[in-house]
Amino acid sequence: MRPMRQATTLAAGKSTSGFARPEKIARIKGVDGGASRVGEELEIRGWARSVRTQKERAFIDLNDGSNISGMQAVVNEGTQAWDVINSGVVTTGAAVSVRGALVASPGGKQAAELLVNELEVIGPADPESYPLQKKRHTLEYLRSIAHLRPRTNTIGAVSRVRNQLAYATHKFFQENGFLYVNTPIVTASDCEGAGEQFQVTTLLNGLQAGAGPSPEAVAAAESKVKAQGDAVKTLKEAMKAGSATKEQVDAEVAKLLQAKADVEALKSTGGSTSLPTNKDGSIDYTQDFFSKPSYLTVSGQLNGEIMACAVNDVYTFGPTFRAENSNTSRHLAEFWMVEPEMAFADLNDDMDCAEAYLKYCINHVLEHCDEDLEFFEKNVAKDNLRERLRGVASQEFARITYTEAVEHVLAAKKKFEFPVEWGSDLQSEHERYITEEVFKDRPVIVRDYPKDIKAFYMRLNDDNKTVAAMDVLVPRVGELMGGSQREERLDVLERRIEDNGLEKESYWWYLDLRRYGSQPHAGFGLGFERLVCYVTGVENIRDAIPFPRYPGSAEF
* Of 143 and 514, CB closest to a copy of itself: 514
Alpha-carbon gap, residue 455 to 274, rounded angstroms: 38
If one asks whether residue 193 binds a copy of itself (CB under 8 A), the answer comes out as no
**Contacting a copy of itself (CB under 8 A), which of 39, 88, 123, 193?**
123
If one asks whether residue 537 binds a copy of itself (CB under 8 A), the answer comes out as no
Q: Which residues 290-309 are close enough to bind a copy of itself by CB under 8 A?
A: 290-294, 296, 303, 306-307, 309
If one asks whether residue 443 binds a copy of itself (CB under 8 A), the answer comes out as no
If one asks whether residue 458 binds a copy of itself (CB under 8 A), the answer comes out as no
If one asks whether residue 129 binds a copy of itself (CB under 8 A), the answer comes out as yes
Give the shortest CB-282-to-a copy of itself separation in angstroms: 4
Helix-helix angle 301-311:508-515, to 10 degrees = 30
If one asks whether residue 464 binds a copy of itself (CB under 8 A), the answer comes out as no
Q: Which residues 85-114 are close enough to bind a copy of itself by CB under 8 A?
A: 93-95, 97
Give the shortest CB-536-to-a copy of itself separation in angstroms: 15
Question: What is residue 434's DSSP assignment?
Answer: I
**Contacting a copy of itself (CB under 8 A), which of 318, 407, 424, 476?**
318
Give the shortest CB-457-to-a copy of itself separation in angstroms: 15
* Of 82 and 336, CB closest to a copy of itself: 336
CB 211 within 8 A of CB 201: no
If one asks whether residue 359 binds a copy of itself (CB under 8 A), the answer comes out as yes
If one asks whether residue 391 binds a copy of itself (CB under 8 A), the answer comes out as no
Q: Please, which residues have CB within 8 angstroms of residue 50's CB and are 6 or more apart in sequence?
A: 60, 61, 92, 134
Q: Nearest to residue 165, comparing CAs of 423, 404, 361?
A: 361
Give the shortest CB-394-to-a copy of itself separation in angstroms: 10
The amino acid present at 506, given as its one-letter code, is S
Give the shortest CB-160-to-a copy of itself separation in angstroms: 7
Helix (H, G, I), strand (E, B) or coil at 35: helix
Instruction: Order the strands of the 444-450 sheet from edge to edge.
Output: 179-180, 314-321, 334-342, 522-527, 478-485, 466-474, 444-450, 398-401
**Segment holding 48, helix H or strand E:** strand 41-53
**Contacting a copy of itself (CB under 8 A), which of 118, 140, 180, 254?**
180
Helix-helix angle 528-536:347-368, to 10 degrees = 50
**Contacting a copy of itself (CB under 8 A), which of 261, 356, 453, 492?**
356
Candidate segments 252-260, 274-282, 469-477, 498-506, binder of a copy of itself by CB under 8 A: 274-282
If one asks whether residue 494 binds a copy of itself (CB under 8 A), the answer comes out as no
Encoded one letter per residue, x for contact with a copy of itself by CB under 8 A and - for no contact, window 242-271 reads -----------------------------x
**Contacting a copy of itself (CB under 8 A), which of 360, 375, 449, 456?**
360
Question: What is residue 31's DSSP assignment?
Answer: T
**Contacting a copy of itself (CB under 8 A), which of 36, 86, 133, 163?**
163
* Of 321 and 457, CB closest to a copy of itself: 321
If one asks whether residue 382 binds a copy of itself (CB under 8 A), the answer comes out as no
List 114's β-bridge partners, or say none. 73, 102
If one asks whether residue 206 binds a copy of itself (CB under 8 A), the answer comes out as no
The amino acid present at 118, given as its one-letter code, is E
If one asks whether residue 208 binds a copy of itself (CB under 8 A), the answer comes out as yes
Distance between first and last Cα of the chain: 29
Question: CB count, 10 Å around CB of 494?
Answer: 15
Give the shortest CB-460-to-a copy of itself separation in angstroms: 14
DSSP string for 344-381: S--HHHHHHHHHHHHHHHHHHHHHH-HHHHHHHIIIII
* Of 336 and 534, CB closest to a copy of itself: 336
Question: What is residue 451's DSSP assignment?
Answer: G
Alpha-carbon gap, residue 539 to 383, rounded angstroms: 13
Buried b (16+ CB within 10 A) or exposed e, 434-470: bbbebbeebbbbbbbbbbeebbbbbbbbeeeebbbbb
Alpha-carbon gap, residue 319 to 308, rounded angstroms: 20
Q: Going by DSSP bridges, is the β-strand pair 398-401/334-342 parallel, antiparallel, or unpaired?
A: unpaired
Q: Which residues 59-88 are close enough to bind a copy of itself by CB under 8 A?
A: 64-66
Alpha-carbon gap, residue 291 to 272, rounded angstroms: 21
* Of 81 and 351, CB closest to a copy of itself: 351
Give the shortest CB-347-to-a copy of itself separation in angstroms: 10
**Contacting a copy of itself (CB under 8 A), which of 11, 20, 89, 366?**
20
Sign of CA dihedral 537, 321, 164, 395: positive
- Using CB under 8 A as the binding criterion, the count of chain residues that bind a copy of itself stands at 151
Ramachandran region, residue 343 (left: φ > 0; alpha: ψ -120 to 50; beta: rest): beta
Alpha-carbon gap, residue 149 to 143, rounded angstroms: 7
If one asks whether residue 148 binds a copy of itself (CB under 8 A), the answer comes out as yes
Candidate segments 74-82, 244-252, 424-432, 542-550, binder of a copy of itself by CB under 8 A: 542-550
Give the shortest CB-520-to-a copy of itself separation in angstroms: 5
If one asks whether residue 353 binds a copy of itself (CB under 8 A), the answer comes out as yes
* Of 288 and 431, CB closest to a copy of itself: 288
Q: Which residues 25-44 are close enough to bind a copy of itself by CB under 8 A?
A: 26-27
- Output the CA–CA distances (angstroms, integers) from residue 120 to 81, 229, 536, in the order listed: 8, 79, 35
Alpha-carbon gap, residue 411 to 229, rounded angstroms: 87
**Contacting a copy of itself (CB under 8 A), which of 50, 72, 80, 170?**
170
If one asks whether residue 125 binds a copy of itself (CB under 8 A), the answer comes out as yes
* Of 178 and 534, CB closest to a copy of itself: 178
If one asks whether residue 196 binds a copy of itself (CB under 8 A), the answer comes out as yes
**Contacting a copy of itself (CB under 8 A), which of 76, 117, 348, 424?**
348
